[in-house]
Amino acid sequence: MESDKELPEFSRKLYPNIEPYSSGFLKVSDIHTLYWEQSGNPDGHPVVFLHGGPGGGTSPSNRRFFDPEFYRIILFDQRGAGQSTPHACLVENTTWDLISDIEKLREHLEIPEWQVFGGSWGSTLALAYSQSHPDKVTGIVLRGIFLLRKKEIDWFYEGGAAAIYPDAWEPFRDLIPENERGCFVDAYKKRLNSDDQEIQYAAARAWTMWEMMTAHLLPNNENIKRGEDDKFSLAFARIENHYFVNKGFFPSDGFLLDNIDKIRHIKTMIVQGRYDMCCPMMSAWDLHKAWPEADLKVVQDAGHSANEPGIAEELVAANEKLKHMKKGQ
C-alpha cells in the first residue's frame, strides 16, 4: 500500500470548472444513441471517464479531476443514462454492449489508446473494458471498487448496510411487502418494470434515495435531493437493478478477479474510502491482493462518493502521477 510520503510533488486540488470544446451524439445500435463530450486539451493525452450507477450519467464536475492542459477529457453517458437515448431503456443494455460502445466512441474520436477512469460501477466497467481491450489502455484510475459479486449486492441491497443505516434502510425495505422481502433486488425489479408509471417512480425514488443517503461519510443534502428527481431516479434505479439481477452479465461471480492477468502490466491507481457503505472496502482489498502491482490508497476519513474531499484529492493525485509518468516516457 502506498504511503502519503510518496506523493508530495503531486497536486491534490480539483481543477477549475471548464466547458466542452466539442460534443455530440453517437448512434451505437438501432435503438441506442450516446451523448459524448470533449474538454481540456484537444491535442492532450486522452482519458475516458466511466460514470457510476450504471444509470448515473455524467456531470460537469467530472471534468475537474483532470489537468485540462495535459488531458483530452472524454465524458459520455452510458446506454439509457443522462442525455443518452432512449432514457432508462433496458433493451440491448449489458456490460458487453457498453464495452462495445466504448470502442465505438474511441474509434469515432480517432483515438488510438487512452487512459481509463472509473468509480463505483465505473470501476467495474473500467476493469471489464480494460480486460477486453488491454492494448487500448495506457493507465487506469479506479475508485470505490465494485466487482459485482453476490456478496457485494447482498451487503447493500439485502440488509448488510442496514446495520449502519437503519433509518435510511427502512423506507427502502417498507416499500416491499413482507412476503416479498426474501430478495429485495427481485422485488424491486417487479416494480421498476411495472406497467403503472407511478409504481415505477415510487420504486425508483426509494431505490435511489437509499443509495444517495449512504454515499457520503457525512450526509450530503445536494446528493440526497437527486433521489427526488423522477427522471434521474428512473434511469438510475431501473438500469442498476437490471444489471444486478443479471449479475453484471458476467459468466462467473469472480470474473473480474479471475482475469487480472490480462491487465496486470497496466499502471493502475486504486482509491478507496475506508467507510464506503455502497462498495465496502472488502472488494478493494480483494482486488489489491489479486493485483499487488496496482497502487492502493485508502482514504481513512471517507465513504463512497468521488466528491468527498479526501477521495477527490486522491483521484487528482492519481491522475497527476499517471501524467508525470507519461511525461517521463
Tell me the catalytic residues.
120, 276, 304
CA distance 142 to 105: 20
Task: State the cell numbers at 328.
Answer: 517521463
Cell reading at 306 = 468521488
Which three three-digit cell numbers place residue 275? 467507510
Task: Specify burial of residue 249 (Cβ count, 10 A radius: 0-12, 13-18, 19+).
Answer: middle
Tell me the C-alpha distance between 69 and 4, whole Å.
25
Q: Is 319 left (phi over 0), alpha (psi -120 to 50) or beta?
A: alpha
**DSSP β-bridge partners for residue 24:** 36
Contact 81, 93 (CB under 8 A): no
Question: Quick check: helix, strand or coil at residue 298?
Answer: strand
Residue with cell 497527476: 320
**Cα(251)–Cα(259) distance, rounded to whole angstroms?**
12
Q: Decide: residue 1, CB within 10 A, 0-12 exposed, 13-18 middle, 19+ buried.
A: exposed
CA angle 319, 321, 322 (to 5 degrees): 65
Which DSSP string corresponds to 48-76?
EEE-STTTT---GGGGGGS-TTTEEEEEE
Question: Contact, 78 vs 51, CB < 8 A?
Answer: yes
Q: Do 200 and 188 form a contact (C-beta atoms < 8 A)? A: no
CB 146 within 8 A of CB 283: yes
